[in-house]
């Protein structure tokens, strides 16, 4: 066994004008009376100059670009609820076309949404980066269609699902700090662009795509009335202005707001039927069996529970959503750098 720091047996020292350098030994053992093989080895740039062979670039993540969101990796409990409890393959709003307002209808609408996104991928695209890949279901669909797809998310649970179910490369971290090993033909974002500050978002897409495309589906704010519904999502007009300023050419725009609305109606029904009733039953049971504990918890958390339920109702209110938001599928052409 070689000593620590000793020269590997497959190298020998060869003289050059700059001194002795390590040169890979020939196999089988060197036998050349004219010395041509030795000269050929010594003439290699890595041997004569002492430079190391260039390594393939590896994808990695830069330090956080801002101080507003320092946690680069975080686990989503909502994803586990949707996937493991509700048995949903996709996490987006779906594209409804008259299905029954139940979980089976939601699954069908979500698959139609995924199929529509795939239809919007331009001809000539091969390498795809799926940002916010969720359960990996759409990446798996694209891989089956022949695309070379990779996933990215700051959620370790998504990483586990992706590696188990898709078996393609996955990058664990935030998109705005991603340093790709190569440029992608297309960046895909399904309800994930809203979680990235708008300046960082366009810079990250530009960093990942060189003469390619950006396909995203998300909801945007069109009326900031100060309500809870208007607090999430980028302002649509500003988003489109930023895209134009960045040199991104809008190739496709599709408003699917009405086709996503049944998801919110289903969410309202589930909140009223299960969440609120479960909370009411739990509170009543605690009041009867543990009145002192109930009294203490009501003083400590009673207001908080009411506010959480009210917030949940507001978040799934279809009327509020339609009033302040638009759900759009957008495809941009990203120019060469």
* Domain shared by 266 and 255, yes or no: no
Beta bridge partners of 249: 333
The SS3 call for residue 21 is strand
* Domain shared by 201 and 82, yes or no: yes
Reduced 3-state DSSP string for 196-234:
CCHHHHHHHHHHHEEEEEEEEEEEEECCCCCCHHHHCCC
* Domain shared by 95 and 178, yes or no: yes
Which tens digits make up the pLDDT trace of 123-133? 999 999 999 99
* Domain shared by 199 and 226, yes or no: yes
Is there a domain that residue 22 lies in? no
* Domain shared by 161 and 295, yes or no: no
Strand 184-190, strand 11-16: pairing: unpaired
Is there a domain that residue 50 lies in? no
* Domain shared by 140 and 247, yes or no: yes
* Domain shared by 164 and 233, yes or no: yes
Is there a domain that residue 312 lies in? yes
* Domain shared by 301 and 275, yes or no: yes
* Domain shared by 181 and 82, yes or no: yes
Is there a domain that residue 41 lies in? no
* Domain shared by 189 and 295, yes or no: no
* Domain shared by 254 and 277, yes or no: no
Which tens digits make up the pLDDT trace of 143-178? 999 999 999 999 998 999 999 999 999 999 999 999
* Domain shared by 212 and 116, yes or no: yes
Is there a domain that residue 64 lies in? no
Q: What is the pLDDT of residue 318?
A: 83
For residue 234, give the CATH number of its domain.
3.40.50.150
Q: What is the pLDDT of residue 293?
A: 66
Is there a domain that residue 70 lies in? no
Q: What is the pLDDT of residue 232?
A: 84
**How far, CA to CA in Å, does 291 sit from each of 276, 277, 279, 300, 306?**
21, 20, 16, 14, 19
Q: What is the pLDDT of residue 98?
A: 93
What's the whole-model pTM score? 0.72
Q: What is the pLDDT of residue 73?
A: 53
Q: What is the domain range of residue 294?
A: 261-319
**Total domains in the fold of the chain:** 2
d(C-alpha 160, C-alpha 157), whole Å: 5
Burial of 146 (0-12, 13-18, 19+ CB in 10 A): exposed
Is there a domain that residue 280 lies in? yes
**Extended strands (E) in 17-125:** 19-24, 60-61
Q: In what order do the strands lie in the sheet with 170-172?
A: 170-172, 148-153, 127-131, 184-190, 209-221, 325-334, 249-255
Is there a domain that residue 205 lies in? yes
d(C-alpha 76, C-alpha 53), whole Å: 41
Strand 249-255, strand 170-172: pairing: unpaired
Low-confidence ranges of the chain (pLDDT < 70): 1-56, 65-87, 271-288, 290-316
């Amino acid at each position: 066994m070689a000593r620590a720091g000793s020269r590997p047996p497959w190298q020998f020292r060869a003289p050059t004008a700059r001194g002795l350098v390590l040169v890979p030994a020939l196999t089988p053992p060197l036998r050349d009376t004219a010395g041509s093989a030795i000269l050929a080895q010594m003439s290699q740039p890595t041997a004569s100059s002492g430079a190391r062979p260039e390594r393939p670039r590896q994808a990695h993540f830069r330090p956080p670009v801002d101080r507003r969101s320092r946690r680069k990796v975080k686990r989503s409990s909502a994803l586990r609820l949707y996937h493991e409890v509700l048995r949903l393959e996709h996490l987006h709003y779906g594209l409804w076309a008259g299905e029954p307002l139940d979980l089976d209808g939601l699954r069908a609408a979500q698959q139609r949404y995924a199929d529509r996104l795939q239809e919007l991928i331009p001809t000539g695209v091969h390498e795809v980066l799926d940002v916010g890949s969720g359960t990996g279901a759409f990446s798996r669909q694209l891989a089956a269609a022949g695309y070379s797809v990779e996933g990215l998310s700051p959620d370790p649970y998504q990483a586990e699902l992706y590696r188990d179910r898709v078996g393609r490369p996955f990058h664990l971290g935030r998109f705005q700090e991603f340093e790709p090993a190569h440029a992608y033909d297309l960046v895909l974002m399904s309800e994930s662009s809203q979680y990235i500050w708008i300046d960082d978002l366009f810079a990250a897409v530009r960093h990942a795509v060189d003469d390619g495309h950006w396909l995203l589906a998300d909801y945007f704010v069109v009326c900031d009335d100060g309500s809870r519904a208007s607090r999430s999502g980028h302002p649509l007009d500003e988003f489109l202005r930023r895209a134009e300023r960045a040199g991104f050419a809008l190739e496709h725009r599709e408003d699917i707001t009405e086709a996503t609305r049944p998801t919110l109606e289903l969410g309202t029904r589930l909140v009223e039927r299960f969440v609120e009733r479960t909370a009411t039953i739990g509170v009543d049971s605690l009041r009867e069996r543990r009145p002192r504990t109930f009294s203490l918890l009501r003083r400590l958390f009673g207001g908080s529970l009411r506010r959480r339920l009210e917030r949940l109702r507001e978040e799934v209110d279809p009327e509020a959503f339609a009033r302040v938001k638009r759900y759009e599928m957008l495809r941009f052409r990203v120019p060469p750098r």
